[in-house]
Amino acid sequence: MDRIIYTAAGGAARVLEHQSVVSNNLANVSTAGFREELAIYRSVPLQGHNSLPTRVSTATATTASSFQAGGLAETGHALDLAIRGEGWFAVQTPAGEAYTRAGEFAVNNENLLVTQAGFPVLSADGAPIEVPERGTLTFSDDGQITVLGAGDNPNDIQNLGQVKLVNPPANELVRGEDGLFRTADGAAAQVDPAVRMISGFVERSNVNPAEAMVSMIANARLFEMQMQVIQHANTNAERANGILSAQ
C-alpha cells in the first residue's frame, strides 16, 4: 500500500507545482510583454529490489516559456514601444543585461529612458539612453531615436542613437525571478539589425485566459483524484489489518 501512496503523493505534488505555474500565468494576463510559463515533467523509473519496469514516478524537469508573440494594443503614447515579430529590448539590471518584450517605457528623474520597474533601456552601444529635459522623442522602426527639445526649431532635430534590439535563440534564454530573460551564459546578446519595432503600441501578454482557467479546473480535478487514491489505499490497508486481526 505504501507504494500506491508514494505514487499518488508524487502525482499530487506535480499537480500542485503545475497549478502554481498556471496561477502565475493567469495573474499576468494583463502584464505587457509577459511570456507564458510552461511546466515540464519527466518520468523517473523507480529503483529497488521489487520494482517493475513499468513502475515510474515523475519529477519536475524545468519550467520553459512560450515565445509566441502577444497581440499589439495601440496606446498612442510616444514612449510605448512594441517589437514586431521576433526580438527583444535590452535593459540594464543589477544582475547584468536582460531582455524584455514589455515596452511601456518612461523617463525617470535622471532623464533616462527606463522600464516600469526602473531599469534603464540600453542603446545599441550598451549605454543608458539619456533624454534631454522636456524633449520629445521619436522612434523609427529600426530603433533610431530622434529628439526635439522644448522650444527648438523643428529643423533642429537631434539623433540620440539607437535602441538596442536583439534576437538571441530562444533556447539560449532563461527567465529570471524578476520576469526578465537573460542568456544562459550571462553574455550580452549582439544587436540584430533585422529586428523591427513600432511606436505608440505595447505588446499584450501571450497568456490565453480561457485556456489557463480550463487548466486550473483540470488540475483541481486531478489533485482530487490523487487524494482519492490515497484515501482508498488507506481504507484497503485498514480492511486488510482487520482481516488479519480476526484470524
Q: Tell me the pLDDT tens digit for each residue of 90-139.
A: 999 999 999 999 999 999 999 999 999 999 999 999 999 998 887 888 99
Cell reading at 88: 527583444
Mean pLDDT of the chain: 87
- Rounded Cα distance, 213 and 26, in Å: 8
Q: What would the pLDDT profile of 45-55 be if each residue is shown by its tens digit?
A: 766 666 666 66
CA angle 91, 97, 101 (to 5 degrees): 45
Query: Is pLDDT of 244 > 90?
Result: no
The residues, ordered by sequence, that sit 6+ positions from 243 with a Cβ below 8 Å of its Cβ are none
- Rounded Cα distance, 159 and 153, in Å: 15
Query: Is pLDDT of 13 > 70?
Result: yes
98: left (phi over 0), alpha (psi -120 to 50) or beta: beta
Q: Which residues of 29-61 are buried (b: 16+ CB within 10 A; e: fewer)?
A: eebbbbbbbebeeeeeebeeeeeeeeeebbeee
pLDDT at position 180: 95
Query: Is pLDDT of 1 > 60?
Result: no
pLDDT at position 49: 61
% residues pLDDT > 70 (the chain): 88
Q: Give the mean pLDDT of 223-246.
A: 78
- Rounded Cα distance, 5 and 20, in Å: 22
Read off the amino acid at residue 66: S
**Locate cell 519529477: which residue?**
59
pLDDT at position 145: 95
Cell reading at 14: 506535480
Q: Which residue has the higher pLDDT, 115 or 241?
A: 115
Q: Given pLDDT bands bounded at 50, 70 and 90, which one contains residue 191? A: very high
Q: Which residue has the higher pLDDT, 219 or 54?
A: 219
Report the predicted TM-score, pTM, of the whole model to 2 decimal places. Answer: 0.81
Query: Is pLDDT of 222 > 70?
Result: yes
Query: Is pLDDT of 212 > 90?
Result: yes
Q: Give the mean pLDDT of 223-234.
A: 84
Q: What would the pLDDT profile of 134-183 be if each residue is shown by its tens digit?
A: 788 899 999 999 988 766 666 777 888 999 999 999 999 999 989 999 99
